[in-house]
Structure 1
Amino acid sequence: MSEELAGTSAVPTRPAQRDDCPQGQETGYRRVFAVREFRFVFVAHLFSLLGVVVSEIALTVLVYGLTGSPLLSALTFALGMLPYLVGGTLFAGIADRFPARRVLVVCDLVCAGCAALMALPLTPVAALLALRCVIAVVSPVFNGTRMATLADVLGDGDLFVLGRSLLRIVSQSAVLVGFGVGGILLTVVPPRGALIITLCTFLVSAVLLRCGTRRRPARDSGTGALMRYSLAGARQILGHRRIRALLLLLWAPPMFVVAPEALAAPYADEIGVGTAGVGLLMCAMPVGTVAGELYAGSALSPATRARITLPLAATMLLPLLAYAFVPDLVWAPLVLVLAGAGFAYTLGLDRWFVDSVPEELRGRAMTVHTAGLMTIQGVGMALAGLAAEFFAVSTVVTGAGVIGTVVCLLLVAEVRRTSGPEHAGPPGPKGETGLTAI
């Protein structure tokens, strides 16, 4: 996990260079790297992401080697996703109640400590799985805090959108190359040795965030028990019609689009291709996602990205309907690349979301968003697998495209209905109109 910042009351909560990209101003990602703090955040993200990927592979190999159980080995991956909901709801308040830099550094140190314990030769399998759960509980708090404080570093305008996009692109790229690199690493280093590398990456991330980012105060002093404070924030966020609509539109396409990835192995079997075909099917959608976001972020203006947000969200699942014709290993990856490219809709939606959430709720809102996104993808994978027990994979993926498109159209209509000023979040501090009055 890794990246980001916080500060003193002497440090402004917005950077000097706000950026709504007026006509004639340069577009693209280079502007983001001109912000010194973001460069530290970005490099920290690379290191922590490397640590997560290496630990997932190393733990899977280690648990299987100790137990010989495919179930327990697979469970190490599942435990990286399931506790997100717990951390993202019960501990979301940490992101607002404490200075962000402190939260980020402590989260990295907690993960480093877990990696160190995992690397000990006498650590039993049950403890390995429990430590994996701890990292998964910490992750949504870390990621939500990072998302919220990007607005402090980059402003809540177009630079924020591009910064979020870059971090997503790095994460998607890790899907493409990370597991391959990790597999090669394990041919040279034993699994517990690889966990030492994970320990080092988390420590490097913590140092980068501590030394390269400003100290900023907590967004909200907050009183009472942490869990109650966290749950109250989640109720406020989900109780606001505009923010709820935006959140659901951020969650819905990923829930349905995971179906072809979750069923890549059985689909490869259905069309009669080997394990190489599975890899190609798994890689196609991340390729489309990276390509779509890079193009939208570098070639399109903020106004253009805003105009295409809802049309893309409404139609990005339509390529999955091609599975009704049982596409072969030439056409299926092209379909998945096209569907992945539709994720460029998130650039516009990210801007609307951060604009709608009041600053004192921003950390909790981003943490809920992260936890919900991971959870909903897990639900989507499970439902796709369940449906594939009764129907052909091609039918399941086609159904996901149909049902998902209907759901997205309904959510797009709701987002349009809530776009007026009467649905905006509160522009001022607590006690004024808006979310805090709900």
Structure 2
Amino acid sequence: MTSTRQEPAQGYLPVFASLSVRNYRHYFIGALVSNNGTWMQRIAQDWLVYTLTGSGLAVGITMAMQFGPMLVLGLYGGVLADRYPQRRILLLTQMAMMLLAGLLATVTFLNFVTVEWVYIIALLFGIVTALDNPARQSFVGVMVPPRLLPNAVALNSGNFNLARLSGPAVAGLLIASAGVAWAFLFNALSFLPMLYALATLDSSGFEEVPRTGRGARAFREGLSYVAGHPRILVTIILVFFIGTFGFNFPIILTAYAAKVFDGGSALYGILNSMMAVGSVLGAILTARRESVTPARMITMSASFAAGLIVLSLIGWLPAFMVVLVIAGLAGVSFNTMANASVQIEADPAVRGRVMSLYFVVMMGTTPLGSLFTGWVTDSYGAPAALMVSGGICLAAAAGCSYAFHRLGLRPAETV
């Protein structure tokens, strides 16, 4: 079935509209299981590193190792996603991730694990993720028609954050009762449903997407396309600041759980889950909209930044948890809107390369933000890290709001 790029109509959709598409429904279920395993491993990995070293900076280095390859390979991953069938790429990357999770589980069970082992495996995960992410993001536009794309992107976000709600809580309890190795093993096994879903999708139901050429020319075409589309460019600039300085919660929450609130791994899992509650709510609210406006994106990014600042001023755990929910709602609402607006605006022929740039600036710059946040956390404390991160994000939201107005992209204009 061939489709052309369409501007979304104003209005509302049923929250789960995209699940009416068989291929997307099967993919969604497989991803839900896999995402739970991913979040369990993230929590277990961060806690293992903190236990081995006692350093927030070491947790930051682990994140830098895992997300750093996105800076180097992310755009190349976009070229691959536009040239080759995304499903084929995903089958290979998901199998590679399963093997890496199994390796980390094995060395941990055998008591061979050191922080160097974690760094190496995190780096390998990062390399595979750099090739996986552009294909996974652009694959959504292959499974659903253009009208359902914002809804599918929001449901993907809800899926990821629903797992973020359950995964950290289960991981925290599992670590406390049985050890981190079991969380790594669960993650390895969680890739099996996703691999089965990918292998059994009906390709006759895919949207037709033109394939691009190879090499440096395709790479340059993607960058030129973004540079020539101000809606996409300003959105990606805002994503850079929010992703680099705002989405480094694992580092800060680790320190909050251990030092500010004198808790352990179970509390760390609970704090992540509280933020995930808001994230799921944000994804559900966003899923009902057929359109995205710059005004909504700016509002949500500024609300997220304000939430970080408020959190830095709170020392009472129940109130901290409540504001975590609000910050999670605003953060995921912004991320979902930005993702959907970029995918809608991008021509299908370059969508993989555009989304690779999107994730380079959101995830590939995480090493810079994680090292900075880890240093602030170790030097001045977790509340100071939240205050600084929130201030940078709030300034970025104000600057991009001004840019939207200067470009004539008024808040009421639908992207």
What TM-score do the two structures reach when normalised by structure 1? Answer: 0.74
**Matched residue, 1:167:** 156
Of 82, 96, 104, the residue aligned with 2:82 is 96
The match for 2:413 is none
Q: Does 1:373 align with 2:362?
A: yes
Letter in 2 for 1:32: S
CA shift, 1:345, in A, is 3.0
Partners of 2:49 and 2:394 lie apart in 1 by 40
Shift of 1:410: 0.7
Q: In the TM superposition, what is the alpha-carbon distance from 1:175 to its structure 2 partner?
A: 2.6
State how far apart, in whole Å, the 2-side matches of 1:386 and 1:204 are.
Answer: 39
Could you tell me which runs of 5 or more consecutive residues in structure 1 were left unpaired when the two chains were aligned.
1-10, 422-438
Shift in alpha-carbon separation, 1:326–1:22, aligned structure 2, 3 A:
closer
Partner of 2:316, secondary structure, is coil
Q: CA deviation at 1:291?
A: 1.7
User: Which residue, out of 205, 214, 233, partners 1:223?
Assistant: 214
Residue 310 of structure 2 aligns with which residue? 322
CA pair 52-236 structure 1, distance change in 2 beyond 3 A:
same
For 1:256 and 1:110, the matched residues in 2 are separated by: 29
How far apart, in 1, do the equivalents of 2:373 and 2:45 lie? 26
| Aligned-residue offset at 1:46 | 1.9
Aligned equivalents of 1:197 and 1:390: distance in 2? 35
Match of 2:280 among 264, 272, 290: 290
Q: Which runs of 5+ in 2 are unaligned?
A: 411-415
Q: Which amino acid aligns with 1:285?
A: M
1:202 aligned residue: 191
- Residues 23 and 201, structure 2, Cα contact 8 Å, conserved in 1: yes
- Structure 2 counterpart of 1:292, one-letter code: G
State the SS of the aligned residue for 1:81: helix
Residue 334 of structure 2 aligns with an amino acid whose one-letter code is Y
Q: Which of 57, 67, 71 does residue 81 from structure 1 map onto?
A: 67
Evaluate the alpha carbon distance shift between residue 135 and residue 179 of structure 1 in structure 2; reply closer, same or farther with a 3 A threshold: same
Query: Judging changes above 3 Å, is the alpha-carbon distance between structure 1 residues 59 and 389 closer, same or farther for their aligned structure 2 residues?
Result: closer
Q: Which has the higher helix share?
A: 2
Aligned equivalents of 2:184, 2:379: Cα separation in 1: 40
**Number of the residue aligned with 2:320:** 332
CA distance, structure 2, for counterparts of residue 419 and residue 79 of structure 1: 40
- Once residues 41 and 353 of structure 1 are traced to their aligned partners in structure 2, the CA distance between those partners, rounded to angstroms, is 22
Structure 1 residues 249 and 190, CA gap change in structure 2 (3 angstroms): closer
Question: In 1, Cα distance between the equivalents of 2:302 and 2:37?
Answer: 35
SS in 2 for 1:27: coil
| Range moving further from structure 2, 179-188 or 98-107 | 179-188
Q: 1:260 to 1:187 in 2, by over 3 A?
A: closer
Q: 1:273–1:87: structure 2 CA closer, same or farther, 3 Å change rule? A: same
The C-alpha deviation readout for 1:361-404, integer Å capped at 9, x for no partner, is: 11111122223212334433322232345545434423332332
What is the 5 A alignment of 1:8-407? Answer: 11-13=1-3, 20=8, 27-53=13-39, 55=41, 79-115=65-101, 130-157=120-147, 159-182=148-171, 198-214=187-203, 219-224=210-215, 228=216, 231-233=219-221, 235-240=223-228, 242=230, 243-258=232-247, 262-267=251-256, 273-275=262-264, 278-298=268-288, 301-302=289-290, 308-323=296-311, 325-343=313-331, 344-407=333-396
Letter in 2 for 1:219: P
**420 and 36 in structure 1: CA distance in 2 versus 1, 3 angstrom threshold:** same
Distance 2:262 2:48 in 1: 30
Aligned CA distance change for structure 1 residues 114 and 389 (closer, same or farther; 3 Å): closer
Distance 1:95 1:392, change over 3 A: same
CA RMSD of aligned residues (A): 4.0
Report the Cα distance in structure 1 between the residues aligned to 2:48 and 2:254, rounded to whole angstroms. 23
How many angstroms apart in 2 are the aligned matches of 1:348 and 1:105? 27
Deviation at 1:34, TM superposition (A): 0.7
Give the TM-score taking structure 2 as reference length. 0.78
Letter in 1 for 2:125: I
In structure 2, what is the Cα distance between the partners aligned to 1:211 and 1:146?
16
Distance in 2 (alpha carbons) for counterparts of 1:396 and 1:56: 20
CA apart distance, 1:286: 2.4
Following superposition, the deviation at residue 105 of structure 1 comes to 1.8
Contact 2:31 2:194 (8 Å CA) reproduced:
yes
Percent identical residues = 20
Q: Is this contact kept in 2: 1:118–1:195, CA < 8 A?
A: yes
Are 1:154 and 1:160, in contact at CA under 8 Å, matched by a contact in 2?
yes
Residue 84 of structure 1 aligns to a residue whose secondary structure is helix
- CA 1:168 to 1:12, structure 2 compared with 1: closer, same or farther past 3 Å? same
- The code of the aligned residue for 1:107 comes to T
What's the offset of the Cα at 1:29? 1.9
- Is the partner of 2:78 in helix, strand or coil? coil
Q: 1:149 is matched by which residue type in structure 2?
A: F
Which segment drifts farther, 33-42 or 348-357? 348-357
Cα distance change of structure 1 residues 156 and 327 upon mapping to structure 2, 3 Å threshold? farther
AA in 2 matched with 1:151: G
Higher relative CO (CA 8 A, sep ≥ 6), structure 1 or 2? 2
Report 1:406-425 matches (<5 A).
406-418=395-407
Report the CA distance shift for 1:306/1:85 in structure 2 as closer, same or farther (over 3 A): closer
Task: Tell me how far 1:285 sits from its aligned partner.
Answer: 2.6
